[in-house]
C-alpha cells in the first residue's frame, strides 16, 4: 500500500500520482491520509486502482471516476462521485448534496445518509444508500438505479425519465410525473444484485419501486400545472 499524506503533499501531486496509474499498474492499493476536507480528491481517476481516503472529504471526491475504487473512511462533501463513469465509490459516513450527480455508470455506496438531490440527473449510475436521502433526490434522473434502505424526502424523482428508484422506508412525497410501480421479477433480480454488491442487509421484497409515469414526456398544455 502506497500512502499519500495530504499534510505534506499538494492536491495536484496527489491527483497527478493517482491519475497516472493506468490499467497495467502494479501499484494498485493507495491510501490518502489527512484529507482534511479538501476538495476534488481522487477525481478523474482512470484505471483499476483502489484508493482509501482516511478522513472526510470536501466537494467532488471521486468526481468523473473511471474503473477505480475509492473508499472514503469518513463523510463526503457535496457532489461525491459526480459524473462517475464506472468503478465504485464507497462512503462509510454520510454524503452531502448531489451525491452521484449525473453519474453515467459504476456503483456509489453510501453507508450513512445522503442529503438533498442525491442522484440528480443520474444517467446510468447505480446508487445504494443505507440510510435516508434528502429532498429532490433523483430530480430529472435519466437512467440507472437508486436504492434507499431508509426513507426518502420530498419530491422524489421529480421529472424523471427511465431511472428506477427502490425505497424500503417511507417516501415523504413523489415529484412531478413520478409514481409507484409494480415490482416485477426482473426488478427483484436487479435489486438483489445491487444490495449484495453494496453489502446491504435487506431483502428485495421489502422495497417499493418508483419511476416515471411518462406523462410529461411530450408537452401538453393541460399538464402545465404539473411544472
Partner 1 sequence: MNDMTKPPLGIPQTAPIKSATFTDPINAEIRRAAATGIYDIRGGGAKRKVPHFDDLLFLGASISRYPLEGYREKCETKVTLGTRFAKNPIELDIPITIAGMSFGALSGPAKEALGRGANAAGTSTTTGDGGMTPEERGHSSKLVYQYLPSRYGMNPDDLRKADAIEVVVGQGAKPGGGGMLLGQKISDRVAEMRNLPKGIDQRSACRHPDWTGPDDLEIKILELREITGWRVPIYIKVAGARPYYDTTLAVKAGADVVVLDGMQGGTAATQDVFIENVGQPTLACIRPAVQALQDMGMHRKVQLIVSGGIRTGADVAKAMALGADAVAIGTAALIALGDNDPRWEAEYNALGTTAGAYDDWHEGKDPAGITTQDPELMARFDPIAGGRRLSNYLKVMTLEAQTIARACGKNHLHNLEPEDMCALTVEASAMSGVPLAGTNWVPGRGGDY
Which residues would be at the binding site for partner 1 (CB under 8 A)? 11-12, 15-16, 19, 39-40, 43-44, 46, 58-60, 63-64, 66, 78-79, 82-83, 85, 97-98, 101-102, 104, 117, 120-121, 123-124, 139-140, 142-143, 161-162, 217-219, 221-222
CA distance 125 to 39: 22
What is the smallest separation between the CB atom of 96 and partner 1, expressed in angstroms? 10
**Which cell numbers in the block locate residue 96?**
452531502
Gap between the Cα atoms of 196 and 202, Å rounded: 9
Nearer to partner 1, 188 or 213 (CB): 213
Taking the complex as a whole, the smallest distance from the CB of residue 145 to partner 1 amounts, in Å, to 14
Q: Which is nearer to partner 1, 124 or 134 (CB)?
A: 124
Alpha-carbon span 166 to 104, nearest angstrom: 18
Instruction: Compare residues 55 and 169 and give the one whose CB is closer to partner 1.
Output: 55
CB of 27 to partner 1, least distance (A): 19
Residue with smaller CB distance to partner 1, 161 or 166: 161
Distances, alpha carbon 94 to alpha carbons 44, 71, 79, 134, 177, in Å: 22, 13, 12, 12, 28
CA distance 10 to 207: 44
Residue number with CB closer to partner 1 (24 or 222): 222
Torsion over CA of 4, 56, 53 and 87, rounded to 10 degrees?
-130
CA–CA separation, 169 vs 58, rounded Å? 29
Cβ proximity to partner 1, 118 vs 198, nearer residue: 118
Q: How far is the CB of 144 from partner 1 (least distance, A)?
A: 9
Taking alpha carbons only, the member of 60, 100, 91 closest to residue 77 is 60
Q: How far is the CB of 199 from partner 1 (least distance, A)?
A: 26
Taking the complex as a whole, the smallest distance from the CB of residue 211 to partner 1 amounts, in Å, to: 12
Query: Residue 127: which H helix or E strand, with range?
Result: strand 123-129
Amino acid at each position: 500500500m502506497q500512502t499519500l499524506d495530504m499534510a505534506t503533499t499538494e492536491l495536484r501531486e496527489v491527483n497527478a500520482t493517482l491519475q497516472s496509474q493506468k490499467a497495467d499498474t502494479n501499484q494498485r492499493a493507495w491510501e490518502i491520509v489527512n484529507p482534511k476536507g479538501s476538495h476534488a480528491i481522487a477525481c478523474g481517476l482512470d484505471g483499476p486502482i483502489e484508493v482509501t481516503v482516511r478522513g472526510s472529504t470536501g466537494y467532488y471526491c471521486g468526481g468523473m471516476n473511471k474503473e477505480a475504487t475509492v473508499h472514503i473512511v469518513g463523510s463526503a462533501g457535496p457532489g461525491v462521485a459526480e459524473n462517475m463513469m464506472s468503478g465504485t465509490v464507497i462512503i462509510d459516513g454520510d454524503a452531502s448534496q448531489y451525491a452521484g450527480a449525473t453519474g453515467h455508470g459504476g456503483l456509489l455506496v453510501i453507508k450513512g445518509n445522503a442529503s438533498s438531490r442525491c442522484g440528480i440527473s443520474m444517467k446510468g449510475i447505480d446508487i445504494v444508500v443505507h440510510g435516508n436521502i434528502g429532498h429532490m433526490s433523483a430530480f430529472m434522473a435519466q437512467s440507472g438505479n437508486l436504492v434507499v434502505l431508509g426513507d426518502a424526502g420530498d419530491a422524489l424523482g421529480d421529472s424523471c425519465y427511465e431511472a428506477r428508484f427502490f425505497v424500503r422506508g417511507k417516501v415523504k412525497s413523489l415529484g412531478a410525473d413520478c409514481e409507484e410501480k409494480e415490482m416485477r421479477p426482473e426488478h427483484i433480480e436487479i435489486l438483489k444484485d445491487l444490495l449484495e454488491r453494496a453489502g446491504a442487509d435487506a431483502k428485495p421484497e421489502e422495497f417499493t419501486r418508483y419511476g416515471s409515469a411518462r406523462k410529461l414526456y411530450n408537452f401538453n398544455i393541460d399538464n402545465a400545472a404539473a411544472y
